[in-house]
Amino acid sequence: MMSAEYPSSPRRIVVVAASDDEGRSWEQSLRDAGHDTVRCAPDAPRIASAEPALVVIDGDAPRAASLVHELRGLGPGGTLLLLLGSLDGGEAMAAVDATLVRDVDGQSFVDTVSRLLGLVPSASRTRAAKATFGGLLGVSPAMQRVYRLASQVAPTRATVLVTGESGTGKGALAKAIHDESPRARGPFVSVHCAALAETLLESELFGHEKGSFTGADRRRPGRFELAHNGTLFLDEVGEIPLATQVKLLRVLQEREFERVGGNQAVSVDVRILAATNRDLAADVKAGRFREDLFYRLNVVRIEMPPLRMRQTDLMMLATHYLELFRAENGKQVNGFSDAARERILEYPWPGNVRELENAIERAVVVCEGSLIEEEHLPIEIDRTSPIARIPGSTLAEIERYAIVATLQAAGGSTAKAAEILGVSVRTVQYRVHEYGVARARRG
């Protein structure tokens, strides 16, 4: 039995190397550093059976890209993935938690591994984990994973790249990380990188000296200086032009820069958080984003889940916004009708939390009675299944749909659904829990 082969350990590292020699040498350096390490073939179920806290995958290993996806799909969400070297398949690169350039020396390899393991809560810490983080709302399994990573990185000065669809709360998470960090009393300075033209962006980030360009009638500090002793949040970081990326990389490496039109080095103590809704790994492949800057920013990556994967959070968020906008508008509404609730739960919320917030605000404003009704909600439910949207849906969405539809057909019996789907009952139960699939749905 595989599970007997690998008795359970909370901090085990599994190494998937491209060659035997390489695998042996990594395993040795990790063991020398005191880590419980095993080598494994690129076989997802086998790796999962070792219950690792961290899986190190060489980008050149056979099937590396699909392996990343399979491991992500297998869960449990606590397993971190570290990818060595670049990989053909930006998507797979985006699915890992950290990446490390290939030609790192042994020491930075071991350091990175130790740092990542520090992010994995021990079993007792997991149990004691706070339900939420920094005032964010939602307790779904998808958000628990976010809170777990966020509470581990908040006390450090590690750079964090927050990814996720528009409106999922990337900005909200960045602010929460700052608020929960030792820099909380320092400034939180945000730069919207997409909103400014190249020259303006540079002077915005680094400041300028008097007379450096027409209209620069006095010296002006940049956002890096303003964020001294605090946090600089680079929002939409994927939109930074290549020329500015070079300069940004230098500041990240040296914590030093010059103002536009100046030659005196200014040094700052700033923690960097960045966000993007682009697939930066794909941009790297396409030459739109510098690979070295990507690795600098992607030290720890936190993916904000789309709202459609946070079913169990929907009514909590909806109620929060109802109370907020009720107070703001002096209304008497105090809940949702059954039909309205049903519609909120069914709708896929492509605009995520922001769309929900706007929808509830409108509903509160137009509602005359004491309950929000279906017709107050400005949402149209598209009842076409993800099956009709292949390609165009993620594997997780398709899987979720398959499970929901099968559960419905099986009258809610997980055992029957598992039999039809050809998977174990545990798998169905796990997915139901993970995706927060509402069990009792009216037809």
Ligand X SMILES: Nc1ncnc2c1ncn2[C@@H]1O[C@H](COP(=O)(O)OP(=O)(O)OP(=O)(O)O)[C@@H](O)[C@H]1O
**What residues make contact with ligand X under the rule CB under 6 A?**
136-138, 164, 166-172, 277, 353-354, 357
- Gap between the Cα atoms of 99 and 112, Å rounded: 9
CB of 305 to ligand X, least distance (A): 10
Which is it for the CA torsion 126, 128, 134, 139, positive or negative?
Answer: positive
Kindly state whether residue 351 participates in binding Mg ion, applying the rule CB under 5 A.
Answer: no
In this structure, which amino acid lies at residue 122?
S
Q: Where do we find the tokens 């509470």?
A: 151
**Residue 253 DSSP symbol:** H
Smallest gap from residue 38 Cβ to ligand X (A) = 37
Q: How far is the CB of 146 from ligand X (least distance, A)?
A: 9
The interface region with Mg ion, picked from 55-63, 164-172, 178-186, 216-224 by CB under 5 A, is 164-172
Q: How many residues bind Mg ion (CB under 5 A)?
A: 1
Sequence-separated (6 or more) residues with CB below 8 Å from residue 237: 161, 193, 274, 275, 276, 280, 297
Does residue 386 touch Mg ion according to CB under 5 A?
no
Residue with tokens 């398959």: 402
Q: Which is nearer to ligand X, 19 or 166 (CB)?
A: 166
Q: Which does 167 bind (CB under 5 to 8 A by kind): Mg ion, ligand X, none?
A: ligand X
Partner from ligand X, Mg ion, none binding residue 421, C-beta < 5-8 Å depending on class:
none
Smallest distance, Å, CB 168 to ligand X? 4
CB nearer to ligand X: give 42 or 138.
138
How many other CB atoms are there within 10 angstroms of residue 181's CB atom? 21
Residue closer to Mg ion (CB basis): 171 or 386:
171
How far is C-alpha 279 from the chain's CA centre? 12
From residue 372, give the alpha-carbon distance in Å to each of 155, 316, 353.
42, 15, 18
Q: Are 341 and 380 in contact (CB under 8 A)?
A: no
- Residue 138 interaction partner, one of ligand X, Mg ion, none, beta carbon < 5-8 Å per kind: ligand X
- Is the CB of 171 or the CB of 230 nearer to ligand X? 171
Nearer to Mg ion, 48 or 274 (CB): 274
How do beta strands 265-267 and 256-258 pair?
antiparallel
Angle at which helices 338-346 and 314-329 pack, to 10 degrees? 120
Stretch that binds Mg ion, among 122-130, 163-171, 327-335, 382-390 (CB under 5 A): 163-171
Find out whether 301 and 161 touch, Cβ atoms under 8 Å: yes
- Chain residue at closest Cβ approach to ligand X: 169
What's the rounded Cα separation, in Å, for the pair 257 and 252?
9
**Among residues 90 and 138, whose Cβ is nearest to ligand X?**
138
Q: In the range 168-187, which residues lie near Mg ion by CB under 5 A? A: 171
136 binds, among Mg ion, ligand X, none (CB under 5 to 8 A by kind): ligand X
Among 130, 137, 202, 132, CA closest to 168: 137
Q: Shortest distance, CB of residue 235 to Mg ion, whole angstroms?
A: 5
Burial of 300 (0-12, 13-18, 19+ CB in 10 A): buried
Cβ 198 to Mg ion shortest distance, Å: 21
Q: Which stretch binds Mg ion (CB under 5 A): 76-84, 165-173, 224-232, 255-263?
A: 165-173
Q: Which is nearer to ligand X, 85 or 436 (CB)?
A: 436
Provide the minimum distance between the beta carbon of 307 and ligand X in the complex, in angstroms, as a whole number: 9
Q: Both tokens of residue 380?
A: 């149209």
Nearest-approach distance from CB 273 to ligand X, in angstroms = 12
Count other C-beta atoms under 10 Å from residue 324's C-beta: 14
Question: What is the SS3 assignment for 220?
Answer: strand
Min dist. Cβ of residue 162 to ligand X (A): 8
Closer CB to ligand X, 27 or 357, in the complex = 357
Nearer to ligand X, 44 or 359 (CB): 359
**One-character DSSP codes across 384-412:** --GGGGSSSS-HHHHHHHHHHHHHHHTTT
Which one, 23 or 169, has the nearer CB to ligand X?
Answer: 169
357 binds, among ligand X, Mg ion, none (CB under 5 to 8 A by kind): ligand X
- Long-range CB pairs of 324-327, under 8 A, 24+ apart, other chains included: 325/360, 325/361, 325/364, 325/365, 326/364
Q: Six-digit token pair at 161?
A: 């790249």
Q: Is 121 in the site for Mg ion (CB under 5 A)?
A: no
Least distance to ligand X, CB of residue 130, Å: 14
Q: Which residues bind Mg ion (CB under 5 A)?
A: 171
